[in-house]
């Protein structure tokens, strides 16, 4: 499965360690993570080598080609919100789905639009530990869309 992993690049990156554990598990299971580079410590510097238009065009291509968007909304990010809205806005035509994550200890800092998302092609997951995260995502990927 091709997976677009969305997470904040410039906001609170406290979820990155758990996301690295998740990606390692997904890759062991044979999935391709299109945006694995977002977990690198120097991602903002690396992304600066592209202009904004190039990032937009690259990411839209990846969003359109992925099977699933896994989006972590634990850190504030307009980009993650855009990516989720883009995929869900087209999901009735593309059969794509979204697994929308947030750290349970940050619930009061996460938008109510995230926590309350009831779109039929989206599963919202609060997690406490990297193990919870990995288990919940694996369960989500096994469920029919």
Q: What is the CATH number of the domain that holds 133?
A: 3.40.50.450
**pLDDT of 10 over the 80 cut:** no
* pLDDT for 66: 98
pLDDT tens digits along 26-81: 999 999 999 998 888 877 777 778 899 999 999 999 999 999 999 999 887 788 99
Share of the chain above pLDDT 70, in %: 95
Residue 144 confidence (pLDDT): 66
Average pLDDT estimate for 14-26: 89
Kindly tell me if the per-residue pLDDT of 3 is higher than 70.
Answer: yes
Within 13-77, residue ranges assigned H as helices are 16-28, 43-47, 52-65
User: In the predicted model, what is the mean pLDDT of the chain?
Assistant: 90
How many structural domains comprise the chain? 1
Collapsing DSSP to helix, strand or coil, 145 comes out as: coil
Question: Where would I find the beta strands (DSSP E) of the chain?
Answer: 2-6, 32-33, 68-72, 97-103, 122-127
Backbone angles phi, psi at 66, to 5 degrees: -75, 155
- Note down the domain range covering 64: 2-142
User: What is this structure's pTM?
Assistant: 0.91
Q: What percent of the chain has pLDDT over 90?
A: 68
């Amino acid at each position: 499965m091709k997976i677009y992993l969305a997470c904040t690049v410039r906001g609170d990156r406290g979820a990155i360690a758990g996301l690295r554990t998740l990606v390692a598990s997904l890759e062991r299971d044979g999935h391709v993570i299109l945006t694995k580079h977002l977990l690198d410590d120097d991602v903002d510097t690396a992304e600066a080598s592209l202009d904004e238009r190039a990032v937009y065009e690259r990411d839209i291509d990846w969003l359109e080609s992925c099977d699933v968007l896994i989006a972590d909304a634990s850190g504030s990010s307009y980009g993650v919100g855009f990516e989720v809205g883009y995929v869900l806005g087209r999901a009735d035509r593309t059969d794509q789905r979204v697994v929308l994550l947030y750290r349970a200890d940050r619930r009061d800092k996460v938008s109510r639009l995230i926590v309350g998302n009831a779109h039929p092609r989206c599963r919202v997951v609060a997690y406490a530990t990297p193990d919870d995260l990995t288990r919940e995502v694996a369960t989500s990927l096994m469920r029919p869309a």
